[in-house]
Amino acid sequence: MIQALSGTLIAKRPSKLIVDIGPVAFGVYVSENVLANSPEIGSKIKLFSYLHVREDALELYGFLDERELDLFKKLHGISGIGPKSALSILGVAPIEQLVSAINVGKADLLSRASGVGKKTAERIVLELKGKLSFQSSAEALNIFESDVELEETLVGLGYTRAHVKMVISKIDPSVSGFKDRLKEALKNMKTMP
């Protein structure tokens, strides 16, 4: 079993990073959050990994920390949630905000993930509520709800969703309130490629 990969990031693709670990390079499926928070091409990277074995393929999924990997495994363990759906859910928001949404029963936030409908999101909440051991807070959930509106506003202004997610992920969590986070995001839009 491949537990983690350490190497040089040589390419970024939609939903995938290519990591050179010596004589071989691995294509690793990642969430939008991991993609947005990954280092520049040519930099060193360490990804915790999950190897999904199918009859016709081996798929490697990567995560920047073990908490993300743990949540991925719990999501994938729910009937009807495959690895791509679990990864899509992880791409909706940072892990603290996802855990908060699950713990307070905010299924509608989970249904923002591609391939996850209302009933599936409700099943996730039902099965995982109170079972996630890492810390979450109401503040993280409030920031997430504000960031959903912020993301839609910036996309409406013509920015790409991927760029918007990257910029929002870099905003200091101590900056709260929609207006302040919008100002910070617009300032960062100018400095981030």
What pLDDT, in 10s, does the model give residues 53-76? 999 999 999 999 999 999 999 999
Within-domain flag for 78? yes
Give the least confident one: 89-93, 116-120, 141-145.
Answer: 141-145
| Structural domain ending residue among the three candidates 90, 106, 128 | 128
Classify the C-alpha dihedral 143-146-147-150 as positive or negative: negative
The mean predicted confidence, pLDDT, of the chain is: 87
Within-domain flag for 133? no
- pTM here is 0.73
| Structural domain ending residue among the three candidates 12, 47, 63 | 63
Classify the C-alpha dihedral 142-14-172-46 as positive or negative: positive
58 forms beta bridges with 53
What pLDDT, in 10s, does the model give residues 170-193? 787 777 778 888 888 888 887 766
Within-domain flag for 26? yes
Within-domain flag for 155? yes
> What residues make up the domain containing 158?
138-191
Question: For the CA atoms of 130, 132, 134, 138, what is the dihedral angle to 10 degrees?
Answer: -50
Name the domain count of the chain: 3
